[in-house]
Amino acid sequence: MGYVQTSSLKNATIMLLYAERDEIDPNPEYQRSGGVWTLAKKRLLIDSIINDYDLPKLYFHDLGEEKLRKTGKRYSIIDGRQRLEAIWGFMDGSFTLAPDFDYQRDSTIRMGGFYYEDIAKTHPKIRIKFDSFVMPIVVVEVSDDDLDLIEDMFSRLNEAVPLNAAEKRNAIGGDFVSAINDVSRHSYFVNCVKFNDARYKHREVSARLLLIEDSLQEGKSLIDTKREYLDGLARKLKKGQKDRVEKIKDNVISILDDMESVFAHKDELLIAQGIQVVYYLLFRAMRAANEAGKVNRRDLLAFRQQLATNREQAATDYEQASFELLEFDRLNQQGTNDASSIRERYATLCKTLGVTPEAIVIR
């Protein structure tokens, strides 16, 4: 009986994959011939990478050391060929960004119609960010190089889109899931956040807010907002604790009311999901300290500008830059669901904006 083992390919940056593409076979025998991606689809992928959107996983078959020595190929692509070839084509200068390309982190930057090399020349930091983007790659190993198992996996991946964490959690049902759905319909998500609700993104954020609120109401400190904790609470509060669920839901909704009054329609400050819990805790702290309304949107925009200025300072004179703000930047890009990351970003935001942090959050 054959077996399949999977693992994540670590540090699979775009530049590393580009540099080592001769070791990647894009056309193994189990690949199906298919339509070539349109220019619009290629451009959308590059847009998504530059604007730091999540990408679907790619799957590589680990060919093993013996085949690497014989053929020079370390991996073959099970799923993701068109994506990789689009990225490589862009880096080779085969096509440009869309004419109406929008850099969401700074709307004053215009790169519509740019080639990869144009970005490198005019905005090297954005080029470096693109090159350093880590592709979500799953490496597959099979027993005895069993291509039947690989082909079966290829077929499954191309016949259906697997459920993501939010979609699986929704299937649990019960009181907590119902609360997630209620919160996700709050007008804050409808009007203010800039990321769409494709594949239950609003429900995923809502679940994190409910988890945080429940933990703090129970007198505990912050916990990770990772899938296993979210799923665990959904199962624990599925039924029999409706009062507890209603209490945390009402508290979350009241904080979202405060947030909605500050943020603008499809606010550029609310592009990313990873900052939502930090903002939530900030507004929660203001309410707890009777400081509601102390921070307005201008203050948050000024904080974002302070981060940008500090990054520029670090590029020319690292010692004069604020380590706290650099660390906020770093944590805002990776491990955003870790309790330590949430706690540190929250503390920095409160300190910078002069808000009294809740002791239970930062302990």
In the prediction, which pLDDT does 197 show?
Answer: 87
Task: Please tell me the predicted confidence (pLDDT) of residue 157.
Answer: 62
129-169 per-position pLDDT tens digit: 999 999 999 998 876 555 566 666 665 665 555 557 887 78
C-alpha to C-alpha distance for 336 and 104, rounded to whole angstroms = 19
d(CA 137, CA 24): 13
Q: What is the pLDDT of residue 313?
A: 92
Query: For position 27, what pLDDT does the model report?
Result: 79
Split at pLDDT 50, 70, 90, the class of 3 is low
Given a cut of 80, whether residue 17 has pLDDT beyond it is yes
For 234-243, the pLDDT digits (tens) are 999 999 999 9
* DSSP class of 268: G
Please name the residues in contact with 70: beta carbons below 8 A apart, sequence gap of 6 or more: none
- Residue 275 CA to residue 105 CA, distance in Å, equals 14
pLDDT by residue (tens digit) across 176-207? 999 999 999 999 999 999 998 877 899 999 99
- Identity of residue 253: I
User: pLDDT, tens digit, for every residue of 21-59?
Assistant: 999 998 776 555 445 689 999 999 999 999 988 888 898
| Segments making up each domain of the chain, as ranges | 4-161, 166-362
